[in-house]
Amino acid sequence: MASPSPSERLTALRSALSGLGVDGFFLPRGDEHLGEYVPACAERLAWLTGFTGSAGLALVLPDTAAVFSDGRYQVQMRQQVDTSLWSVEHMYETPPPLWLSKHARGKSVGFDPRSVSVRDIEALEQAGCHMVALPCNPVDGIWADRPQAPAAPVCIQPLALTGRENSAKIQDIADTLRQAGQDAVILPDPTSIAWLLNIRGRDLPFLPVALCFAILHADATVDLFIDITRIDDAVRSHLGTSVRVHMPADMEQILQTMHGKTVRLDPARCPIWFANTLKDVKATLAEGTDPCLMPRACKTPAELDGMRRAHLLDGIALTRFLCWVKAHGVGKTEAAIADHLLALRREAETCIGPSFHTIAGSGPNAAIMHYAPTAEQCSVVQADAFLLVDSGGQYTCATTDVTRTVWLGAGSPPEEWKKQYTCVLQGLIALDQAIFPAGTHGYRLDPLARLALWKEGLDFDHGAGHGVGSCLSVHEWPLGFTRRPVLDPLHEHMVMTNEPGFYAPGSHGMRLENQMETCLAYKTETGDYLRFKTLTLAPIDTRGISLERLTDTERTWLNTYHARVLEQIGPHLAPEEREWLQRACAPL
């Protein structure tokens, strides 16, 4: 039986909405855990609209429909979505509440309360429409060949890699709740639960977690909701007696026992279903950030040691790849290039797989910020073009994310392109060299990555960096360098990316990205000051640099960095690879 066309899917959804008594529907990309990565069975936005990006949403009304995402995906959306059916919107330039206020004022708009956050509904209710919690997700009812939910076994993340026992983490969060006068906190985010309980899983393609929910109580006990057949005796012993394991179907019953309790939930990260269920039993809701986020972001010595080990392995694989791609990349498909890099990473025994779908774009595709080639849809790499490769690995001890842009071919880039590339490099160096008071918010440092570009009237439409997990999410929010205010401050022992770029749609694109650790710079009478230490070890292509634009300080930074790369990566390479690296790291 043929799969329904995009038009047929939209028509079927509108028919289902009419049957449910609502005029429209709000469909976020996230699943019941509101995460960036979702299993195949929860790719509802992609199935309905064709848009496969990692951030976005759709709004459907009887006579119009729109797909929204951020600046990373504007080109991709227009390539993937049938624009005769859907308008394509920038979620920050045309916020969904603004769009609804224009198109749906006075109308009823349905939503799945299990996959929409409290904060999202609060914002949409300001649009002058009536938001209606539906008893089921209408997309599921029309998705005939919807994949099965994942059911992989849960595994243990050992103490040698985490640096802290799960019992100690549980006690710390319980102390936080007691100090705030709260009885429990709802944890719908599997990455928080993975960090808290020192467990991992294989339910998602790039994020090594087990999909589950948890309630952590102020008495330092935890109710964990996951299919009990996924937990063997070793994992049950590891969890200990303070963790009670329930089937997911029991979650509503457990919530109903919390009458009169004060329960914390993160309105930006908790489905509104939890809030509604708790309100029904007269529990008191206390809005507050997920208390696992900041402890998770501040890595333990064991986690930082794992980061350094992983970046050595990652640097070896990436350097070997860069050597290979310089010699053999032209004429290969972008998908083949991505596959080759992943194969090199997998040679390390501790590599679990990629930390996200490798972005390997050449020529105009490099201007699509999150372009992800597949064997069915990609281009052949041409000479005299930039190749942008943004990739990462999940290792048992860490998560990596690195971008290199290389010039392929005998000639040199046009001078205008070299200016752009040099400005990107200068932004990378400027952010890397920052010294700032502990507790500084990331958005205050974001301009450092843009200043060289701004001086030339250039910019890029994404954040200059983000937090990174420890064998967890490659995008560990809410930390980051963004143009929008991010309220979480930076502290010692966090791990961030540094990734300025420039993109000329239809022509070319470039990005450079390193991972960095926040370290103590010095102490003063007024407080600590922090700096960054780069973890990534891979050469930066110098063919795109306009040397006359670099200051002496910038040239010294690059020479020093390359000397470190050569010293640490060189001994692990074959002779011909080491010779190439010596040339790639030669002082400017």
3-state SS of 102-151 is HHCCCCEEEECCCCCEHHHHHHHHHHCCEEEECCCCHHHHHCCCCCCCCC
Q: Which strand (E) or helix (H) includes residue 99?
A: helix 96-103
Longest dimension (CA), the chain: 72
> Are 405 and 548 spatial neighbours (Cβ–Cβ below 8 Å)?
no
pLDDT for the residue 378:
94
If you count them, how many residues does the chain have?
A: 588
Where b means 16+ CB within 10 Å and e means fewer, 146-156 reads: beeebeeebbb
CATH, domain 6-142, list 3.40.350.10, 3.30.428.10, 2.60.40.10, 1.25.40.10: 3.40.350.10
pLDDT for the residue 257:
96
Q: How far is CA 458 from CA 182, 359, 450, 540, 587, in A?
A: 48, 22, 8, 21, 28
- What whole-number distance in Å separates Cα of residue 26 and Cα of residue 378? 32
Tokens found for residue 509 = 């694109």
Strand 465-466 versus strand 480-481 pairing type: antiparallel
pTM of the model: 0.94
Strand 527-534 versus strand 514-524 pairing type: antiparallel
pLDDT for the residue 1:
55
Tokens found for residue 297 = 């972001």
| pLDDT tens digits, one per residue of 505-560 | 999 999 999 999 999 999 999 999 999 999 999 999 999 999 999 999 999 999 99
What are the residue ranges of CATH 3.40.350.10 in the chain? 6-142, 155-296
Which residues in the chain show pLDDT less than 70? Answer: 1-2, 487
| pLDDT tens digits, one per residue of 232-253 | 999 999 999 999 999 999 999 9
Provide the residue type at 507 as one letter: S
pLDDT for the residue 150:
93
- What whole-number distance in Å separates Cα of residue 553 and Cα of residue 528? 25
Topology of domain 298-579 in CATH is: Creatine Amidinohydrolase (3.90.230)
Topology of domain 155-296 in CATH is: Creatine Amidinohydrolase; Chain A, domain 1 (3.40.350)
